[in-house]
């Protein structure tokens, strides 16, 4: 899961959890995260999940300027603690591990079914001898 904390200067203005990819950030109301700040383009950055590495990747769109940890780039793989700068906004990136749903009932059912099939196979072998 990817979380973004948006700030202008020292003031945090919003918090966003990325729940779908591609995820767009920009000034346009159609962007997934709409930022009203000087220097932010209509669609400034796209966040995607790289299929090969399994990491999130930020890509500047068109000629938009993207700074990652103070360095200008077109694309960058994101890690927890990275700071993205889009115009007058700063976005701090937090990556948290995926959480698995509680599957106790499903696991117990699968093991019980395997146990039952094993007992039935043993009984069938005994009957057929």
pLDDT in tens, the chain (129 residues): 788 998 876 567 788 889 899 999 999 999 999 988 889 999 999 999 998 988 999 999 988 999 999 999 999 999 999 999 998 899 999 987 666 678 889 999 999 999 999 999 999 999 998
Distance CA 93, CA 76 (A): 12
Res 27: pLDDT: 92
- Based on the fold, state whether residues 112 and 77 are members of the same structural domain: no
Residue 38 is encoded by which pair of tokens? 């000087």
β-strands 23-26, 33-34 pairing: parallel
- Based on the fold, state whether residues 81 and 120 are members of the same structural domain: no
Res 11: pLDDT: 61
- Based on the fold, state whether residues 81 and 106 are members of the same structural domain: no
Distance CA 40, CA 107 (A): 49
- Based on the fold, state whether residues 89 and 124 are members of the same structural domain: no
- Based on the fold, state whether residues 21 and 55 are members of the same structural domain: yes
Q: How far is CA 1 from CA 30, 32, 72, 80, 103, in A?
A: 22, 16, 25, 11, 20
Query: Whole-prediction pTM value?
Result: 0.70
Res 62: pLDDT: 86
**What CATH code is carried by the domain that includes residue 56?**
2.60.200.20
- Based on the fold, state whether residues 43 and 90 are members of the same structural domain: yes
- Based on the fold, state whether residues 70 and 127 are members of the same structural domain: no
- Based on the fold, state whether residues 9 and 64 are members of the same structural domain: yes
Looking at the structure of the chain, the number of domains it has is: 2
- Based on the fold, state whether residues 6 and 44 are members of the same structural domain: yes
- Based on the fold, state whether residues 87 and 115 are members of the same structural domain: no
- Based on the fold, state whether residues 66 and 88 are members of the same structural domain: yes
Res 81: pLDDT: 93
* In the block, residue with structure tokens 């020292």: 10
Res 10: pLDDT: 58
Which of 59, 55, 57, 30 is closest to 44 using CA atoms? 59
**Residue 109: which domain range?**
102-129
């Amino acid at each position: 899961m990817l979380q973004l904390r948006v700030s202008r200067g020292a003031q945090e203005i919003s918090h966003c959890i990325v729940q779908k990819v591609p995820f767009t950030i920009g000034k346009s109301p159609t962007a997934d995260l709409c930022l009203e700040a000087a220097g932010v383009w209509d669609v400034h950055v796209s966040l995607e999940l790289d299929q090969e590495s399994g990491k999130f990747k930020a890509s500047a769109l068109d000629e938009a300027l993207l700074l990652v940890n103070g360095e200008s780039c077109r694309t960058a793989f994101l890690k927890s603690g990275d700071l993205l700068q889009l115009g007058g906004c700063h976005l701090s990136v937090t990556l948290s591990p995926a959480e698995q749903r509680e599957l106790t009932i499903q696991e117990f059912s699968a093991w019980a079914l395997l146990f039952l099939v094993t007992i039935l196979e043993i009984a069938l072998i005994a009957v057929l001898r």
